[in-house]
Amino acid sequence: MRWIYALCVVVFLVIGGFLLTPSPVDSHAWTPPPAPGLNGAAAPNQILRLSELLGVGQVEGPEDVDVDSAGRVYGGTQDGRIVRVWPDGRVETWARTGGRPLGMEFDRNGNLIVADAYKGLLSIDPPSGNIRTLSTEAEGLPFRFTDDVDIGPDGMIYFTDASSRFNQSQYRLDLLEMQPHGRLLRYNPATRKTDVLLRNLHFANGVAVSKDGSFLLVNETWKYRVLRYWLTGRNAGTAEVFIDNLPGFPDGVSADSQGRFWLALPSPRNRFIDWINPYPWLKEQVAKLPDSLQPPVERYGLVLALDEDGKILTSLQDPGGRYLTEITSVEPHLDRLYFGTLHNNRIGRLPMEAIPAL
């Protein structure tokens, strides 16, 4: 019987030691609305499987992509590179930021503006590949997780700092803490000044300026919603909910020439996360677990098309994510959509004509 007693002591010490270990998060409670599921205009389909795949096996985690005037596709990878895919399929390393390039957008001068998770807001000169740092802090608070970027018709650069507490490798901790560490920012190229437009966002992620420049959208990933921030008119400087209670975690968002918004959702809602969100103590214990024991990400390809009123027009999907999964960005260019992914080794390209509901 001594071995049973000894085993009980060991189990008690292990469990007790785990519970007494400080948690890396100071979690807050939040009760999410019931998940809407995938139905109506968001009913499951396999449209994403019609996409052409670029750079398969030659890119890793091209989180965001953009296309230049020559039709060359750019994407930032997990190892800090920005790769360029030529129309003939050739892939080359175009630049190295030394960080983790996420959002990217070409400005009116042909410079690639990059939100690098660790390096801040960058500008890369196309002919030389020289990198210039535009901004690394606002109001004395350094960026911890520079995330997405878009450029308005007037040349103003809008971008997000997803979290002022956790960096890109710790995004799961930001989710479990459920505190509003995110900010929406604006960089003025003429004055080189960075202003804070919105504070207290729950993981400020994708940003997209509307076709006419009157407003922009910014995603609050952990709250499953998209906000509209007015840039002009009587409501300028105010924000409102654009679409709420999404069927997944919103990531990147882009506007096309028709005024539609393309919203990438890298994963559908997670039942365990929804269940645990109201209970801070439980989330603090989960945060102590190694990544291998954290709630898994469901493999799924999911993109929503929205009109300027926040109505879902149609969806692009790949159930099971065997072709395209964890889509984090959608870049409309001419008559095609380009898809970036968080952990996949490819870039997707889909002709608009392949989308039956448009």
Place of tokens 């940003």: 207
> Is the predicted pLDDT of residue 18 greater than 80, yes or no?
no
**How many angstroms separate the CA atoms of 109 and 249, rounded?**
33
pLDDT interval class at 3 (50, 70, 90): very low
The structure tokens listed for 229 are: 């921030």
Phi, psi of 21 (to 5 degrees): -70, 130
Residue 293 lies in a domain: yes
pLDDT tens profile 95-115: 999 999 999 999 999 999 999
pLDDT at 290 over 90: yes
Mean pLDDT of the region 150-166: 98
CA dihedral 201, 35, 64, 138 (to 10 degrees): 0
For residues 266 and 319, what is the distance between their CA atoms, to the nearest angstrom? 12
**Structural domain contains residue 12:** no
Strand partners, 67: 73
> Which residue bears the tokens 């992509």?
65
**In a domain? residue 26:** no
Let me know: does 174 contact 222? Beta carbons within 8 Å: yes
The pLDDT tens digits for 38-52 are 999 999 999 999 999
| pLDDT, mean of residues 221-236 | 98
Share above pLDDT 90 across residues of the chain, in percent, rounded to a whole number: 90
Residue 235 lies in a domain: yes
- Structure tokens, 64: 């965001």
Q: Are 139 and 196 in contact (CB under 8 A)?
A: yes
CB–CB of 196/143 below 8 Å?
no
Domain that holds residue 167: 45-354
Assess if residue 29 is contained within a domain: no
| Number of domains making up the chain | 1
Cα–Cα distance for residue pair 60/67, rounded to 1 Å: 18
Q: Within a domain: residue 112? A: yes
Domain contains 226? yes
Q: Is 2 inside any structural domain? A: no
Strand partners, 150: 158
CATH number at 278 reads: 2.120.10.30
| Residue 120: exposure state from Cβ atoms within 10 A (0-12, 13-18, ≥19) | buried
